[in-house]
Structure 1
């Protein structure tokens, strides 16, 4: 490996900190570009409890990752709707990486003990992650749909509108099945025209088509890869939910959640959700 040539005698040291830009009267600085003053101004604990700062920071960061996931899912879904199968996999890979960050956030929150949490839990009343519009949007785009989940957002027209549109539109899996149909693997009409506001249920004909894809990946390589990428997304979705459950159990046990759900019991039942049923069952039937 060739060493870099030294600066000419008397020339400025290119590696010195003095070479960095320091005058931002006419250009964007790091803080300006990221609007850090705005970002940090949103961090407003309502008590003097030390760990409330941690609690807010983890949830703020999680919301930012959720918004990125929504953006990437929508882009991938737009490509799938146009019959493109390779490009969406890049977006779905980014979704998986973002999900990993979401899951790891629970590990930071687990450093908060029950005694720490009880110092400020009552201060935020009925506020709960159950009311996260971004999380709900991710669920709707992935296909987990129940109309009752719209209710916490009815007081916000700016939130309820996009959520209603999402719950009535094809999910990422619906679009995948339409693509499968276009490729000559005939998906039944009752699947293609199903009530999109409901979660998917396993269909034997669709399962047989996925068995064909998995038995002949060289013929259906794009569908095969897409299926595996979707499984990565759901796998990480399950991990996030499991870590959420264990964090709640560790912090408040089986107390009722602040948003009115049963808390850990509700989260435990949510672990049973299956987003892409045929993609999981195909492993058993192969």
Structure 2
């Protein structure tokens, strides 16, 4: 018998004999028996990854691990969207590139908001297990460095300074260093539109022309704004993060050996697209 309801009868794309829809096997409901919510999301494996190092177990260590694992999942999604946005720019699909960057913006706001959850942990509670983290450090987040490299802040020195990189992680970082960035793709967009980008003056003139004629260059302008928004939200996350670290550990050194909040403050002036910020002065 068909698993389709009577309301589906007579529709040209419903195959009442095989239970297929548009040529694809359809098995909604318990009779499908192929996947469950838990098996699709691999929940047994996922929920088994929060392994506490403290002994006796510190209550807030679960929160600390969960927050950072969630960060890494969002980083994975951000890289997925940014890579696709770059490729869309390179293929001339400006609407798609902008759409994917807007999704990145929403995720970046979520990343900043997650700090509120982490700050429900007091310095005393963090102190119960922080000593067990050394020499692990957020500095060692490979995906975060991939995001920076792909955005345009490439720095080969980071690869040399990483501790405990696996062969696969080193390959990923070296690939990000070698491949085009979002900014490289945007320059291709400008050149495709007939602008020069070889010199700083060429690029400045191109951006000013785009900004002055949004009727003709609206898609390029909106894409530039989407890149600037990404830059701004990344800067907002860095600023929020350093204040959180100061609230938690003051001026103590980081568990990975860095200067802690001091190092993070040294990164606050980082801008992925300084040319887009400088453009504001001439508008």
Distance in 2 between residues matched to 1:163 and 1:268, nearest whole Å: 24
Distance in 2 between residues matched to 1:268 and 1:207, nearest whole Å: 30
Distance in 1 between residues matched to 2:201 and 2:164, nearest whole Å: 37
Displacement of 1:26 in angstroms is: 2.7
Which of the residues 222, 227, 235 maps onto 1:225? 222
Q: Counterpart in 2 of 1:43?
A: 50
Distance in 1 between residues matched to 2:32 and 2:248, nearest whole Å: 48
Task: Answer yes or no: is 1:28 the counterpart of 2:25.
Answer: no
Contact preservation (8 Å) 2:72, 2:143: yes
Task: For 1:139-218, list aligned pairs within 5 A.
Answer: 139-151=148-160, 152=162, 155-188=165-198, 203-218=200-215
How many residues align? The count is: 253
Task: Answer yes or no: is 1:244 the counterpart of 2:241.
Answer: yes
Contact preservation (8 Å) 1:185, 1:209: yes
Distance in 2 between residues matched to 1:211 and 1:237, nearest whole Å: 24
Contact preservation (8 Å) 1:137, 1:166: yes
Displacement of 1:90 in angstroms is: 1.0
Distance in 2 between residues matched to 1:206 and 1:68, nearest whole Å: 31
Q: Secondary structure at the match of 1:218?
A: helix
Which of the residues 276, 279, 282 maps onto 1:279? 276
Distance in 1 between residues matched to 2:189 and 2:204, nearest whole Å: 15
Q: Which runs of 4+ in 1 moved over 6 A?
A: none
Distance in 2 between residues matched to 1:159 and 1:62, nearest whole Å: 17
Displacement of 1:27 in angstroms is: 2.8
Displacement of 1:83 in angstroms is: 2.1
Give CA deviations for 1:21-77 in whole Å, capped at 9, x if unaligned.
Answer: 6x5893311111111110011100111111111100100111000000000001111
Distance in 1 between residues matched to 2:271 and 2:203, nearest whole Å: 15
Distance in 2 between residues matched to 1:267 and 1:24, nearest whole Å: 54
Distance in 2 between residues matched to 1:46 and 1:25, nearest whole Å: 41
Contact preservation (8 Å) 1:96, 1:236: yes
Unmatched tracts of structure 2, length 5 or more: 1-27
Contact preservation (8 Å) 1:54, 1:109: yes
Displacement of 1:155 in angstroms is: 3.4
TM-score normalised to the size of structure 1?
0.85
Q: Counterpart in 2 of 1:7?
A: none
Distance in 2 between residues matched to 1:252 and 1:245, nearest whole Å: 10
Q: Counterpart in 2 of 1:195?
A: none
Q: Counterpart in 2 of 1:75?
A: 84
Contact preservation (8 Å) 1:153, 1:160: no
Q: Counterpart in 1 of 2:264?
A: 267
Unmatched tracts of structure 1, length 5 or more: 1-19, 192-202
TM-score normalised to the size of structure 2?
0.86
Contact preservation (8 Å) 2:87, 2:185: no
What is the Cα-based RMSD across aligned positions, in Å? 1.6
Q: Counterpart in 2 of 1:55?
A: 64
Task: Answer yes or no: is 1:235 the counterpart of 2:238.
Answer: no
